[in-house]
Chain A
Amino acid sequence: MIVFDRVSRSYGRGKGQHVALKELSLTLEPGKFTAVVGTSGSGKTTLLNILGGLDREWTGSLRFWDQPMESLSDAALSALRNTQIGFVFQHFYLLDHLTCAENVQLPSYFDRRPPRPDQAARAEELLRKVGLGGRAGDRPTQLSGGQRQRVAIARALFNQPRLILCDEPTGSLDRRTGLQIIDLFQRLVEQDGLTLVVVTHEEHISRMAHRIVRLEDGELRSNEVNTPAAAEEG
C-alpha cells in the first residue's frame, strides 16, 4: 500500500516559486495498475519522482508499504529503489555500450544482498519474458524503439520489485508498439502481482488502468476506479 498524505513540492523561492504538487493525498493499492494523467506541468512526473525516491525535497508524508519515505536516509532510499522499485522511462535510458543482457543486470551492481548465482540466466529469462529471447547479446542500438523499451522493462523487473514506475513509457513509440508494451505491463500485473504506476498523457493508455488519477496544476482533480480495457480495444 502506498499512501500520500498532504505531499507538496515546489521549485524556486519567493516570487519565482512554482508549486508542482499541492498537498496531495492519495492511496495506491498494491497489485493494481494506476494511470496518472494530466496536462504538461500538472505534476505527474513530480509525483513519480517523489514516489520513486528520486526527489527528496518535498513536504508531507509518504508511506511505502509501512516505510515512511520522508525519514529514509539516502542510502536506505537507494536500497529501496534498488530492491523494491523498477523504473521505466520514456527514452528507455539504456547504456549503448552494454549488451541487452548487461543492461538488464545493471540493478544487480548496486544490490547489497548476496549475489544470485544465475544472474545471466535470469537476465535472459526476463528478456524472453518481454519477447526478446535470443537478443541478449545485442546492443540497444541494434533494436527498435519498442524492443528497447522491452529491455528497459526487463531491467526494471530484474530485482523483483514490488512497484514499477513508468514515465510516459509509450511516449516514444508508435501507437501499436505502445499498446503492446501496455499489454505486457497488464500481464505482469496480473501474473506477478506487481503494482504499476504509469504516468501518461495518452487517454487510450490510461483506460487500461485499474485506477486513473488526474492531476491539474499540481492538485488532485480526480481519482477514479476504472475497469481496464483490453489492449486490443485501447
Chain B
Amino acid sequence: MTLGKLLRLVGQNLRRNARNFAFSSVGIVVGIATFIFFVGLGEGVRTVVMDKIFVYNQLEAIPRSYDVGAFRAEGGLFGGTRLNDATVEELRGVPGVRGVYPKLRLTFPARASGGKELMGKNFYTELIADGIPERVVTDLPDPSRFRDWEGGEVTCDAGCPDGSVCGEGARCVKQTCTPPQRDRDGAAAADPCPGKSYCAADTRQCELPIPVIANPRLLEIYNGSVHTAMKGSKGALAQVPRLSTTALEGLHFNVTFGKSFIGSAARGEPIERRCELVGFSDKAITLGVTMPIGYVQRFNGTFGSEERGDYHSLLIETSNNEAVVPVAAYVTDRLNLALDDKYENAQKAGLIITIITAIFSLISIVIVTIAAINITHTFLMVIAERRREIGLLRALGATRPNISAMILCEAVVVGALGGALGCGLGLGVAAGADAAFARFVQDFPFKPDTLFAWNPAFFAVAVGGAVFFCLLGALLPAARAANMDPAAALTGR
C-alpha cells in the first residue's frame, strides 16, 4: 500500500471515528499543555535568574580568602594566583572564555551628591565605585562616551574636547578658569567653562566630567523596591518617579573623593569632581558606579592605601552557559582563586529551577502516560467495533503490516493533532498567566515582562512525545488488529 493510499484510508477512518479519537486525545492534549506550560515557565524563570539576576555567564574571580582564627587573609600569601595582567592573559587563553576584564575598586572613602534635576532635591550617599578598562564596555548606546579623558595627551587632530584648547605641539591643553563664587544662599554663579566641562576648584582648570556607568540591576532594585517603598512616605520621597535608563543617561552628579560621611582618606586632600552617567551595562558594579579603570588607578594612587598594584577582581565572560562550569573549575582549581557568591547562588538557583521543572515535566509525562493507556483502550474499542471491516480489508488484499500501519498511522495523526492542540492550550494558559501576573502582581526587582521563554525544541519535543505516547498506546491494538483471523472476523466467530 502506498503512503498516499494509507493516508487516504487513515483520513477516512479518523473522520468516521472523530468523536472517539477526540475523547481519547483529551488526556494527550492536557498532558502536553501541562508539559509546555511548565517547561516554558521553567525556561522563563531560568532566563530571568540566569541572564538578569545572576548573569550566569559572567564569573567574577577574586583572591581566595582564609579564615585564620579571628582574622581573614587573602590570596597570594597562601599561594593563590595574583590578579594581575599575566593572570588576565592566561585566562583569556582558557577555552570557553570570551573575555576577561580586570576590575579595581576605590580603596578610600568617597561620597556623591546630586539628582536635583530628577528628584527636585539633591540626595547624598556614600559612593561605592570601581573601574574597568573602557574597551570592554561595548553595550552602551555610544561606547565612545565611556572614556578616560585624563588617560593621556589628547592631540588637536580630532578636535579638542570641551574645556580644552589646542596648545603647544598640537596637543590639547585644559583652559584655566576661576571657580564660580557662591552667594549667601549657596547658589553658584554660572560656570565659566564651555560645553560639558566645569571649573574644578582644586585645579582651577576646565575639567570634563568622569564618565560612569551603572548596572541595570541597580535600576531594577530602585524601581522594584525603593520606588515602591517610597510611595507611602512623606514629603519629597513620595514623589520619586520610576526611572528608566534613558531618563538617567546624561545625569550629572558631584563626587567628593577622599572624604565621605564615615571618614576621610589617610592620604591626600579631598577633591570634588563631577561625574556623568553615560549608560547602563552588565559590566558595571551592581551597587555603585563603574568608571574607566585609569581614573580609579590614579585616585587610588592619590588617596588609597599602598598596594602592590594588583586588580581586585577579574570579570570573566564565557562564550555560553555550558562553558561556565569548566571555566569556573579552571579558576578555582588551577589558579586557586575564588569566585564571588553570585556563581554559587546562580548554581543553586539553576539547580532548584531544574528540579522544579523536572518535577512538573514528570507530572506531565505521567498525565501523557495515562493518556496513552486511554489511547490503548480507545483503539482496542475501535478495533473491536471495526472487526468486520478489518476482516473485509484483509479479504480485499490488505496484509498484516498494512493493517498494523493503518492503526499506527491513525495513532500518529491523533498524537500529532493532540500534541499541536496541547501546545496551543499550553501557550494560551501561559498567555493568561502572564496577563494575570502583569495585572495582579506588584512590581518587584527584575519583574519580567513575561514569565515564559519558548524554544522551538519544546514544541518539537511536545508533539514528538505526544506522537510517541500515542504510538505506544496503539502498539497492542495494532498488533491485535494485524493478527486478527480474517475468516473469523468476517463470520463473527
* Interfacial residues, chain A to chain B (CB-CB below 8 A): 45, 49, 52, 54-55, 74-75, 78-79, 81-83, 87, 89, 93, 95, 97-98, 102, 106-112, 115, 155, 159
Given contacts A98-B12, A110-B1, A110-B402, whether A49 and B397 have CB atoms under 8 Å apart is: no
Q: What are 19 of the A-B contact pairs (CB < 8 Å)? A: A54-B391, A54-B394, A54-B486, A54-B487, A54-B490, A78-B397, A78-B398, A81-B395, A81-B397, A82-B396, A87-B395, A89-B392, A89-B490, A106-B396, A109-B1, A109-B8, A109-B396, A110-B397, A115-B2
> Would you call B12 and A110 a contact (CB within 8 A)?
no
User: Whole-angstrom distance from the CB of B10 to the nearest CB of chain A?
Assistant: 11
The verdict on B9 contacting chain A, using a C-beta distance below 8 Å, is yes
Residue B234 is within 8 A (CB to CB) of chain A in the complex:
no
Which residues of chain B in 154-170 are interfacial with respect to chain A, using CB atoms and an 8 Å cutoff? none
Closest A residue to B386 by beta carbon equals: A95
- In the assembled complex, the Cα of A54 lies from the Cα of B486 at a distance in Å of 6
Chain A residues within an 8 Å CB radius of B12: 95, 97-98, 102
- Interface residue B388 (Cβ < 8 Å from any Cβ of A): yes
Q: Which of B437-493 contact A (CB under 8 A)?
A: 485-487, 490-491
Count residues on chain B whose CB falls below 8 Å from chain A CBs.
26
Q: Are A110 and B16 in contact (CB under 8 A)?
A: no
B231 to chain A: closest CB distance in Å? 67
B-side contacts of A102, CB under 8 Å: 12
Alpha-carbon distance A211/B298, docked complex (angstroms): 120
| B7-48 interface code vs A (CB 8 A; 1 in, 0 out) | 011001001100000000000000000000000000000000
Q: Chain A: which residue is nearest B492 at the CB level?
A: A91
Question: Could you say which residues of chain A place their CB within 8 Å of the CB of B396?
Answer: 81-82, 87, 106-107, 109-110, 155
Known interface pairs A93-B392, A95-B389; A109-B399 also in contact (CB < 8 Å): no
> How far in angstroms is the closest Cβ of chain B from A40?
12
**Which of A49, A55, A83, A109 is packed against the most chain B CB atoms within 10 Å?**
A109
Chain B hits for A79, CB < 8 A = 397
- B334 part of interface (Cβ distance < 8 Å): no
**B171 at interface, CB cutoff 8 A:** no
Residues of the B chain whose Cβ atoms lie less than 8 Å from the Cβ of A82 = 396-397
Cα(A95)–Cα(B398), bound, Å:
15
**Chain A residue contacts of B388, Cβ below 8 A:** 93
* Chain B residues whose CB sits within 8 angstroms of the CB of A98 once the complex forms: 12
State in angstroms the CA–CA spacing of A87 and B396 once bound together. 8
A17 to chain B, nearest CB (A): 16
Q: How far is the CB of B490 from chain A (nearest CB, A)?
A: 7
**A96 — nearest CB in chain B belongs to which residue?**
B16
- Closest Cβ of chain A to B409, distance in Å, is 13
- A54-B394, A95-B389 known; A74 and B490 CB under 8 Å? no
> Across the interface, do B397 and A83 meet the contact criterion of CB distance under 8 Å?
yes
Q: B52 in the interface, Cβ–Cβ < 8 Å? A: no
Whether B5 sits at the interface, judged by CB under 8 Å, is: yes
Question: Is B399 a contact of A75 with CB atoms below 8 Å?
Answer: yes
B380-405: CB near A (< 8 Å → 1, else 0) gives 00000000110111111111101000
Chain B 424-438 against A: per-residue CB contact (8 Å), 1 yes, 0 no?
000000000000000
Q: How far apart are the CA atoms of A79 and B391 in the complex, in Å? A: 15
- The reply to whether A111 and B394 contact each other, CB–CB distance below 8 Å, is no
| A169 to B: closest C-beta gap in Å | 14
B491 to chain A, nearest CB (A): 6
| A contact residues around B486 at 8 Å (CB) | 54
Let me know if A110 and B487 touch, CB within 8 A: no
A139–B2 Cα distance when bound, in Å, is 25
Q: A75 to B394: give the CA distance in the assembly, Å.
A: 11
Chain A residues, CB < 8 A from B395: 52, 54, 81, 87
